[in-house]
Amino acid sequence: MNTKLKGILAGIFAAVCYGTNPLGAKFMLQDGLNNMSTVFYRYVFAVLILAVTLKFSGHSFKITKRELGITAFLGFFFSLSSLTLYASFSYMDAGLASTILFCYPVMVAVIMVLMFHEKLTFSTIASLGLAISGIMLLSKGNNSSTLGVILVILSSLTYSVYIVSVNRLKLKLDNLQLTFWVSVFGLITIALASLFGSNNHLQPLPSIASTGWAFMLGLVPTVLSLIFMNIAIKEAGSTPAAIMGALEPVTAVMIGHFVFDEAFTIKLLIGIILILTAVMLIVLNNARAKNSQNEIEHSDNQPILAKQTVKTRRKK
């Protein structure tokens, strides 16, 4: 199997793995667990699996004080994104929620424009317009409520803040170490949040089935999706990997339709297409900008290389 094909297949597996989030979450919610407990047990198993993986892969658990503070900050936003996404499942179809969540690349682009003064391009404006149109279309009917839409938009926004922070705050931790420590602090955040509010208390796992689903959430949409996405980025590149991420909401919609009998309407299909188009515009525009920058840097280096060649010839 050639390297490119390996990367593409890994990207597909990563997206499908992440798209299984509603599968475990909805079954656990139906088993009587509240939203806080469902997310808590997902993080418990994710931390355990990541700890074992780190141990047997020879990675170090060591972390500096600066990295400790940054990962605690990241863990807060990462866990908040999970909590609001799972909470939205109680107010709208899981496939619909996962589709709106996929707006996060557009939100990242907008944050970079507003907070870090990146150039506002036509692609960013068009993507934002398409994403808003898709959300408005999906928020009307389709077994959704205003509260559900607000929750999943908040989930997408907090995940966008997490992504921007990871990119801007330079950390020397590799992906596995970063994910482990972010998950640890996410787990701590959820445990502390459970102390407030009568409906947020942590509940024991009610059945073997719920324990199995919690393990699945920690393994498949968390650890496996991370591993496969890292392979996809390494072997196929970040742009193809991001494009294949479009299979995440598609997988969630299919699970919602075939497992939970969620409706699949023309309006839902159009909303999905609008949001996916918005994300593709952002991804491709970023790739084009990166290629242009590389070409500029390459052309800027040509005179230097030429001068060095001339000097070498003169010495000879």
User: Domain locations in the chain?
Assistant: 3-315
- Specify the pLDDT at position 75: 93
Torsion-angle region of residue 193: left (phi > 0), alpha (psi -120 to 50) or beta? alpha
Q: At residue 236, what is the residue type?
A: A
Q: Which of 164, 241, 180, 192 minimizes the C-alpha distance to 54?
A: 180
Rounded CA separation 111/238 (Å)? 20
DSSP three-state, residue 102: coil
Residue pLDDT, tens place only, 63-87: 999 999 999 999 999 999 999 999 9
Mean pLDDT score, 182-192? 95
Residue pLDDT, tens place only, 206-264: 999 999 999 999 999 888 988 888 788 778 766 666 667 778 888 888 888 888 888 88
Q: Residue with structure tokens 């994710």?
A: 46
In residues, how long is the chain?
A: 316
SS (H, E, C) 66-100: HHHHHHHHHHHHHHHHHHHHHHHCCCCCHHHHHHH
Q: Which of 21, 33, 36 minimizes the C-alpha distance to 191?
A: 36
Residue pLDDT, tens place only, 51-62: 999 999 888 888
Q: Which of 135, 125, 126 minimizes the C-alpha distance to 99?
A: 135
Q: Which of 212, 232, 182 minimizes the C-alpha distance to 23?
A: 212
Averaged pLDDT of the chain = 84
Which strand (E) or helix (H) includes residue 305? Answer: helix 266-315
**pTM to 2 decimal places:** 0.82
Would you say 28 and 215 are in contact if contact means Cβ atoms under 8 Å apart? no
Q: Which of 221, 225, 183 minimizes the C-alpha distance to 79?
A: 183
245 or 269, which is more confident = 269
Rounded CA separation 238/131 (Å)? 22
Q: Residue with structure tokens 């929750």?
A: 151
Rounded CA separation 16/95 (Å)? 13
Residue pLDDT, tens place only, 122-141: 888 888 898 888 888 877 66
